[in-house]
Amino acid sequence: MLASLKTQLSMDSIVRPTCIGLLVGIAYYFGAMVGFALTLPNQSVSTLWPPNSIMLAFLLLQPPQRYWVILLGAFPAHLAIQLQSGVPLPLILCWFISNSSEALIGAICLRRYIVGPVDFSSLRCVLFYVVCAALLAPFFSSFLDAGFVTLTGWKQQQSYWEVWLTRFPSNVLAEITIPPVILLWASKGLRGTDWRRHFEAFLVMGGLIVVSLLFFSAQTIRIRTAPALLYLPLPFLLWAAMRFGAVGASTALLIVVLGSIFGAARGGGPFISASPADNVFSLQMFLMAISLPIMFLAGSVEEQRQKAKILIDSEARFRSMANAAPALIWMSGTDKGFTFFNKAWLDLTGRTLDQELDNGWIEGLHSEDSHSFLAQYDRSFDARKKFSIEHRLRRYDGQYCWILNNAVPRFDSDGTFLGYIGSAIDVSQRREAETNLRHQREQLARMTRISTMGELAASLAHELNQPLTAILANAQAADRLMAANPPDLEEVSAILQDIVKDNNRAGEIIWRMKALVRKENLELAQVDLPTVVRDVALLLHSDAILHDVRFRFDVPSGLSPVRGDRVHLQQVVLNLLLNAFDAMKVVPASEREIQLCVAAEGADSLRVGVSDCGAGVPGETLDRVFEPFYTTKGEGLGMGLAISRSIIEVHGGRLWAECNDPKPGMTFYFTVPLWREESRRGSI
């Protein structure tokens, strides 16, 4: 079997090049015959010389390693056609060299700058073909051609430059006209089109043939009407370029070129009024003038079609992927209207795509969220920035679910803004879990506050006992003064004022206790942070006396208010102060001091510091003090610092601890963001 396979491969390597060589030879021969047939009377050079361009087309259809097959196949045909014309053998060989050089220069240059087939599907491809194959290659090969004619002196009737000038436009016109037809029909043609397209192509080409025969072959066309009639083929050429791209344009141009030259060779058309040389040159310039714009137009059409096809394929792949994705995906255009919703979105809302498109989907937005979403969407859209927002969307069952909507702007490769693309996920369960967690945290924080009040019972009783004792003493004194005859009413009035002051003092103590103990949601508002710190210090005044602790305040005036909840911030300060009391139990009474400082932390927040001079915490366990249930106290639960950190994080700040190196003790810091005018009040 292996031997049979090798034999078959060997046969293919022989048969295929042989067939290609034969095909090249036949095409070259008939191309030369056409060139002779298109030679105008009294002219030695054909208006259009196809063999060179046919050789170029075959070179571009084959890989470089088979170029020798093309040259070898064309050589016998070149000999046969030139020997029939009585051309000397040396000149025959020289002309084959010049013809081959033109085809090789064009093919090598195009292979250098164009990757893949030369299919005229872009302006770049057309440009390189025109420059390399249609201009440079004939330009250089025509020097060889004219040189060989001059050196051999065969039928020498023209100078070197006159020979060059007659052969150069002939070769240029052939390169513009013939290779594109061969290359495009060999690779594309009209495959994959229906009968209507074939019928349309038949109409275009048929109409162009009729116009060419009537105009270019007519013997009675007058000089004064010829310029106007030159425009007759133009509508058909534009039709072919716009509707059929490069294939239609190249075929239509070949019909016009062959028809015009054939008619002129028979003495018809508008190009017969001057000398033969001028007639040929005028005809060549006319054909090149209409061919080049049509080629570039067809290349532009092909490029736009290719881009459109890529875009359509890309959008089709995107829609398939988007419809298969579990996330909710949408797209909007440059007018802010929504242009696409994937299957997951439509399944969630229970609506059709037509109902959701443009701004129809807004009907499913919750009334409380529509204004905020649309306002942020408009701001982000105008600024071309991404955005992320949570909002409620009505489901197919009429219930609302929370979704997290993320969107980014879309841009074309050239930076053109195309709109937005967004994806959303259902976060209802997460929101519910966060709500439950918030309620649990609030319950735990409240229980911690109640527990703290229990720990402060003795000091609070002492704090209340002072104003109550004073009230009792003043009431007894007032009673005695009223019993005197006559009663001292002025002194009684002063005593009553003292009673009111002591009552207010006791009321403030009870109010602070009630504010800390009662259940409240976390309400964010403007809060004066230094006042919070001082209020907690006043609440612990008696407890500080019992523990022999002194407070030292470092609070500058004029600090900006923060955005926070007064009671929850008081709880944090209270926890930190009570921890500081416990940390200094082993410290001599004369050294027990707590420093309270409030200062600016950057431009956006304030920092509170609570420093003690206690035993401190080893550095390796410093971060663990904020873990739930971790405590260094024998009777503690280990929840105070954990709750305090969660409260500060909800406020948008942070809580941390540092050792007072080299001094003893620790300092706990926490930050709270400043209040801004755009801050929103509300429950968290």
How far apart, in Å, are the Cα atoms of 238 and each of 121, 213, 282, 299? Answer: 17, 19, 22, 12
Predicted pLDDT at 466: 53
Q: Please list the residue range(s) of the chain that carry CATH number 1.10.287.
A: 432-519
Residues 239-272 have pLDDT tens digits of: 888 988 888 899 898 888 888 887 777 776 676 6
Work out the average pLDDT over 123-138.
91
Residues 135-176 have pLDDT tens digits of: 999 999 888 888 887 777 666 566 788 778 888 888 899 999
Helices (H), 66-159: 67-84, 89-113, 123-128, 137-152
Residues 101-118 have pLDDT tens digits of: 999 999 999 998 888 888
CATH number of 521-684: 3.30.565.10
Q: Which residues contact 74 (CB under 8 A, 6 or more apart)?
A: 24, 25, 28, 51, 55, 96, 99, 100
pLDDT over 60 (residue 297): yes
Predicted pLDDT at 682: 41
pLDDT band at residue 606 under the 50/70/90 scheme: very high
Residues 361-409 have pLDDT tens digits of: 888 888 888 888 888 888 888 888 888 888 888 888 888 888 888 889 9
pLDDT over 80 (residue 459): no
Residues 194-248 have pLDDT tens digits of: 778 888 888 888 888 888 777 776 655 544 445 666 778 888 888 888 988 888 8
Predicted pLDDT at 428: 77
pTM: 0.56
Q: Which two tokens stand for residue 77?
A: 């045909």
* DSSP string of 429-490, one letter each residue: HHHHHHHHHHHHHHHHHHHHHHHHHHHTHHHHHHHHHHHHHHHHHHHHHHHHHHHSSS--HH
Mean pLDDT of the chain: 79
Q: Please list the residue range(s) of the chain that carry CATH number 3.30.450.20.
A: 325-426
Q: What is the 3-state secondary structure (H, E, C) of 392-414?
A: EEECCCCCEEEEEEEEEEEECCC
Predicted pLDDT at 191: 62
Topology of domain 432-519 in CATH is Helix Hairpins (1.10.287)
d(CA 167, CA 47): 9
Q: Which residues contact 2 (CB under 8 A, 6 or more apart)?
A: none
Predicted pLDDT at 398: 85
Topology of domain 325-426 in CATH is Beta-Lactamase (3.30.450)
Longest alpha-carbon distance in the chain: 164
Q: Which residues contact 486 (CB under 8 A, 6 or more apart)?
A: none
Residues 500-545 have pLDDT tens digits of: 766 766 666 566 555 555 545 567 888 899 988 888 888 777 677 7
Work out the average pLDDT over 662-678.
84
Q: Please list the residue range(s) of the chain that carry CATH number 3.30.565.10.
A: 521-684
Predicted pLDDT at 681: 43
pLDDT over 90 (residue 179): yes
Work out the average pLDDT over 461-481.
60
Predicted pLDDT at 296: 92
